[in-house]
Amino acid sequence: MKVAILAGGFGTRLSEETDIRPKPMVEIGGKPILWHIMKHYSSYGFNEFVVLLGYKGYTIKEYFANYYLHQSDITIDTKAGKLTVHSNDSEDWKITLVETGPETMTGGRVKRAEKYLAGETFMLTYGDGVSDVNVKKLVEFHQTQKKILTLTAIQPEGRFGVLDIGAENKVQRFLEKPRGDGSWINGGFFVCDPKIFGYLRDGDKTIFERTPMETLASEGQLTAYQHEGFWKCMDTLRDKQELNQMWASGKAPWMMR
């Protein structure tokens, strides 16, 4: 089963990094967050990727075009113009990089990649979020539901820590970033039946999360896989710093080592 990854947005809320590279190429622990997402899927045996490019997509192309060199010991004979690769620790991935336009919306990007994805069920996710979701169980859930689209529903952590206030207004303890108010939101990590392309009708202007998903919901064709584990989107510089701290601790919950 192929995995499509949305990697074309501008990442304006992370402009400190995205002025020079696309958001999926911002590094966590010395590797692009896109690589982390791919490693997560790969750990479950899903090794074929379709990356939907847009803003500064050439950066992603150049990264993967030279990826095996970055992972290898090499000898370069400058006079003979010869390069010898002594070892290659690259992952066994097949990656299709699709130009979908810098201004194209999420649904339009998926539609532009139809020829690489049509005819079979595929997975889809965003290029800026990591999770410990069990994607094999997610796929199994989708298969049992027999609907056109499954999304992974998550409960995001609260933005602020909260106070536990007891009698006489005494603060008893601090609770760090508890989960939200019990509501669930779209966390990406979709599984899509090929019929999804029939709902992407407005060309490049199609926003996947709007009319297509709303229509599917009204038709009873959208189901939610509730994930209560780790999930985090790298939306701001602070998010990037937190993810790097998790990685440096050796306990990054999204990575199967």
In a domain, 253, yes or no: no
Query: Residue 171: what are its φ and ψ, rounded to 5°?
Result: -75, 120
Regions of the chain where pLDDT drops below 50: none
In a domain, 164, yes or no: yes
Q: Which residues fall within 8 angstroms of residue 88, CB to CB, at 6 or more apart? A: 68, 71, 72
In a domain, 47, yes or no: yes
Residue 129 has a pLDDT of: 94
In a domain, 32, yes or no: yes
Residue 171 has a pLDDT of: 62
In a domain, 203, yes or no: yes
Counting Cα atoms < 13 Å in the Cβ hemisphere of 37 gives: 31
pTM of the predicted protein model: 0.88
Residue 242 has a pLDDT of: 93
Residue 23 has a pLDDT of: 93
Residue 221's domain is classified under what CATH number? 3.90.550.10
In a domain, 256, yes or no: no
What are the tens digits of pLDDT across the range 21-76? 899 999 999 999 999 999 999 999 999 999 999 999 999 999 999 888 888 888 99
In a domain, 254, yes or no: no
Domain range for 144: 3-248
In a domain, 136, yes or no: yes
Residue 14 has a pLDDT of: 77
Per the structure, the count of domains in the chain is 1
